[in-house]
Structure formats: C-alpha cells, structure tokens
Homo-oligomer: A and B are copies of this chain.
Amino acid sequence: MRAKNVSEPETAPKKSSDLFQKRQKQIIQKAMKLFMKKGYAQTSMREISKATAIDIRNLYYFIKNKEEILFLVFDRLHRPEVQMFEKKGILDIDDPVEQLRAAIAGLVENGYGYGQEVLLLYRESKSLPKRLLKNILEKESRVVSHIENILKKGCARGVFAIEDTSFTANMITYQLSLYALRKWNMKKYTKRRIIDLMEQNILKMVGH
C-alpha cells in the first residue's frame, strides 16, 4: 500500500491522502453537530478537539483554522441539494408543473427543509468572511436558479403566470425550509403531508 509517491510539490502535500481526507471528514462532521447544537462562535476548538479525539494541535494539521471548518461544513451541507437536480433527473422533465412538483418533493425529501442545517446557514453565515460566504451563497443561488428556470419555462408555455420569476423563485426556495425554522408549529404534520400542502399552495401561487 501507499504506492502513490506523486506528492504535489508544495501547497498540498497530503491533501490527496485518503487518511487525511478521512480525518478531515471526521472533523467536519463532529464540528457540524456541535455548531448546530451550540452555534459556531460558542463552539471552541478545544471542544472540537475533544469530540474528534484529535489533539487540538494536530487539528491544525488537517484544517487551516476554525473558519475553514465552518466553510467546509457549509460546503458539505449544500452539496447534496445542488447535485439533486441532476441526479434525480429533474432537469429532464419537460412539463413545468411536474418539474416544479418534483423539485419541491426532492428538496424537502432530501432534507433541504429538515434538520437544522438551513438554520445553521442563516444563523452562522455572518461568521464567514465575505469571500467565503460568497462561495456558499453561490451554491445556494444555483438552487434558486434552477427553480427560476422552471418558472420561466412555465411562463413561456403559458402554464404559469408570474410577475417576477426571480422573486417568486426566492419565495419558493425559502418556503422549503419552513419546517426547519418553525418546528414548534409544524410538529403535527408528517413529511408527506407537508410536501403535499406545499405543492398545492405553491402551484396555486404560480398558476393563473
């Protein structure tokens, strides 16, 4: 084993290593849990160190600094949603109504609306410098873009009637995290029921 001696020159001497990646993933996952439970600023590196059982000084062997952990957490958080559109073949659906329906179901199903992940984004995005935040928001925007494209197509075909597709796409995307941020009032609904009600309401909103 360890047959690869193609080490990159300077910048990334071991980032390619499986072990390195494994450790990083481990850190990110534990940190994510802590961030969700206590908030980013309230979670200390020492706590992350304890949770991962990696000495705090060796922690810095795998990540540059605390901020980078948050960035990586966000990155991992948003990845599934962005890729879902391709994976589930939503982009290939022709009928805009069915397409929108699939997107809603997919995103809610996929956990976009569940978990406290979205809440984490809303809560802690301030803790990222603009440079990194932009990166994160770009990914988020891609979800919105996909939805807006569906809306546009629907309008073009005359099945939707929307004054401002961008605004409405934002409204819809935002809506999808309803459950996460209003748990206290949503407990009485099942996931299936939420998806149904959302579909109904949203389709009415975009229709004639």
- Interface residues of chain A, those whose CB is within 8 Å of chain B, are 9-10, 13, 38-39, 41-42, 50, 53, 55, 119, 122-123, 126-127, 137, 141, 144, 163-164, 166-168, 170-171, 174-175, 178, 181-182, 184-186, 189, 194, 197-198, 200-202, 204-205, 207
Contacts and interface: CB of A to CB of B under 8 A. Distances in A.
- Quickly give the copy total for this chain: 4
A50 B204 CA distance: 50
Contact of A185 (B170, B184, B204): B170
A160 to B, nearest CB: 11
Given A10-B50, A185-B141, A204-B207, A126 B39 contact: yes
B144 A185 contact: yes
A38 B200 CA distance: 37
Contacts of A50: 10
Contacts of A181: 122, 174
A189 B163 CA distance: 13
A204 B208 CA distance: 8
B170 A186 contact: yes
A13 B53 CA distance: 10
Contacts of A13: 55
21 contacts: A13-B55, A39-B39, A39-B123, A39-B126, A41-B41, A42-B126, A42-B127, A119-B122, A122-B181, A123-B123, A163-B197, A168-B201, A170-B178, A170-B182, A170-B185, A171-B198, A174-B174, A174-B181, A174-B182, A202-B205, A205-B205
Nearest to A198: B171
Nearest to A141: B185
Most central of A41, A178, A182 by chain B CB within 10 Å:
A182
B41 A39 contact: yes
A18 B149 CA distance: 58
A7 to B, nearest CB: 10
A174 B184 CA distance: 12
A37 B118 CA distance: 19
